[in-house]
Amino acid sequence: MTLLPKFAILCVRFNSLVVFPPNPQSHNLYCIPVFTNEDYLAELLVEGGIIEAEKLTHARASLPGRVTIVQHLINSSEVSETQVAETLASNAGVPFVDLASFHFVPAVIITVSKDIAHRYRIIPLTDDGLYLTVAVADPLDFDTLDSLPHIIGRELNIACATNTDISNHLMQLYNISDEHANQKQDEFLISTGDSAAGLETNDAPIIRLVQQTLTEAFRLRASDIHIEPLETSVRIRYRLDGKLVHVDTYPKKLLPAVIARLKVMSGSMSIAEKRLPQDGRIQLKMGDKEVDLRVSSVPSNHGESVVMRILDKTALLLGLPELGFFSDDQSEFETLLKLPDGIILVTGPTGSGKTTTLYACLNVINKPDKKIITVEDPIEYELPGINQVMVKAEIGMTFAAALRAMLRQAPNIIMIGEIRDAETANIAINASLTGHLVFSTLHTNDAPSAIARLADIGVKPFLIASAVRSILAQRLVRKLCPACKAPAGLTEKEMRALNLDATRLAKASIFGPVGCSKCRGNGFRGRMGIFELFNIDDEVRGMINGGLTTSQLRRRARELGMRTLREDGIRKVLAGLTSGAEVVHATMGDFD
């Protein structure tokens, strides 16, 4: 028996043992064979308690020729393939994925060619626009994993699946993918003429392609679809939970036919007009749901760019709890909705959910004994039982003109899509002072800033003080996926930003994102609001009349009990509904 030197380094990756001789005068290195990756994995199975050491020794003694030790353990039912894959995943620090329960998207599958997928035994899972996540059977095959980003041309995230799952899904998915790819090649032959008649005779593949894009966006609960022409291709992106995600790429030759198909579906957009912006609306039925798409086309340097806003009518049924209100804020806000007059403002930047909140308010107070009229630009949802007026500035139907006409209709409640100028603001305030309850939005970062904003556009302070009843500022944060969220801590940076200490954290249920098939691997599913409710009482009215600054108003509002956006977000972090990083990101300007 040969004794090994005193100092040795085990190099599993290169299947050898590099031996440093004990004599410092010697400069020779000796490499002798040692554990293979299979041996190393077998030892990991023992360390993990999956198989006993004695059984492993017995299995080695009875190892058939040309069969690896791990495969022999699987064949003899000592361990399962899933246990092996989970052990590999844990050791490599990557997630394990059950491919049988994963929902695959054709647009992601075709990001990796059939040849590369089969040669390197990889399955594309998700694509967030920055990283492509792929499943492999051996996450310890470092040489292959180092090469893959260069071969595919993408930054990769790695997940681990069983070897059998990889083999089965390579066959299943790439048969489907071949059909998908062949369909795209066929579409090169489609006429891209501008006439609707030409489309009707040649557009069957285009119809399927467009329908697939719309259906997949709805299934993924996207809020927008972006069709963007680039120099040599067409990029398709969905906005998922507020984040734009790249989902597909079309050949550039398909762009005219795709745009023409969407214009035909809208029924109001001209196929021949490519030089001017156009707007339209598409109504579809997805399963048992009625869905509206608001379509906007704009000419760009590489062709027409189209954005479609998906308006799911089930959003009309949202109550205040679904928006993200906790019971105390909900009770306070519902009291405001019962007021007979005054103005209630919802503020926040574009994309913060202001319109959805207004619709939810109208849904709560929409009763047969109330006449409700809205003026919007554009009308996003059609609300049963409510009179809705669309702004058309080109013919003189501005917000102000529509408001004047609405007041002659004797409404109880008025909703104004947005207060943009002094004329609209003054008419709205006069309406509120003459017995109407008015809802509207403003673009401000927080609730107290709305007072200064109204003053800036020309409204007198005494009118603001008399008319405004409450201001609700809001932001949207992503909700943790309930199927996979797991207990987690906060980083020191997050704790400082959120002003949390260990004592408060000890009583909380902090969770963080993990990722599963239900949330497309990103750990979040859906969004909710965080809110800042600023009620205007007699003391605050006096401060507004006195010309106090926004910072003074904000300080006094805090003293009176106003909870800031960040403080409301902290409550939702402590309740395990969202992550600390989400709240910090959404409230970067909130330092109180």
pLDDT, one tens digit per residue, over 18-42 is 333 444 444 443 333 334 466 677 7
Lowest-confidence region among 201-215, 429-443, 500-514, 539-553 = 201-215
Q: How far apart are CA 197 and CA 202, in angstroms?
A: 9
| Model pLDDT, residue 590 | 61
DSSP state of 456: H
Q: How many CB atoms lie within 10 A of CB 169?
A: 19
Short-list 220, 267, 265, 263, CA closest to 245:
220
Q: How far apart are CA 46 and CA 584, in angstroms?
A: 43
pTM check: above 0.95: no
Quick: pLDDT tens for 80-91.
888 888 888 888
DSSP state of 2: P
3-state class of 308 per DSSP? strand
Short-list 269, 336, 339, CA closest to 299:
269
User: For residue 220, which amino acid is it?
Assistant: L
Mean pLDDT score of the chain: 81
Q: How far apart are CA 472 and CA 449, in angstroms?
A: 11
Greatest mean pLDDT among 290-299, 471-480, 541-550: 471-480
3-state class of 529 per DSSP? strand
Strands (E), 399-485: 413-416, 437-442, 468-480
SS (H, E, C) 348-382: CCCCCCHHHHHHHHHHHHCCCCCCEEEEECCCCCC
Q: How far apart are CA 56 and CA 72, in angstroms?
A: 10
Peptide bond into 124 cis (omega under 30): no
Lowest-confidence region among 143-157, 197-211, 340-354 = 197-211
The answer on pLDDT for 107 being more than 60 is: yes
| Model pLDDT, residue 43 | 77
Place of tokens 């590489």: 302
The distance of Cα 437 from the centroid of its chain, to the nearest Å, equals: 35
Q: How far apart are CA 388 and CA 134, in angstroms?
A: 48
Contact by Cβ (8 Å): 81, 166? no
The answer on pLDDT for 376 being more than 70 is: yes
The answer on pLDDT for 396 being more than 90 is: no
Short-list 488, 498, 519, 510, CA closest to 588:
498
Q: How confident is the model at residue 317 (pLDDT cuts 50, 70, 90)?
A: low
Lowest-confidence region among 16-25, 167-176, 524-533, 541-550 = 16-25
Lowest-confidence region among 57-66, 79-88, 221-230, 234-243 = 57-66
Lowest-confidence region among 116-120, 197-201, 303-307, 339-343 = 197-201
Higher pLDDT: 6 or 394? It is 394
Beta bridge partners, 343, equal 438, 468
Q: How confident is the model at residue 193 (pLDDT cuts 50, 70, 90)?
A: very low
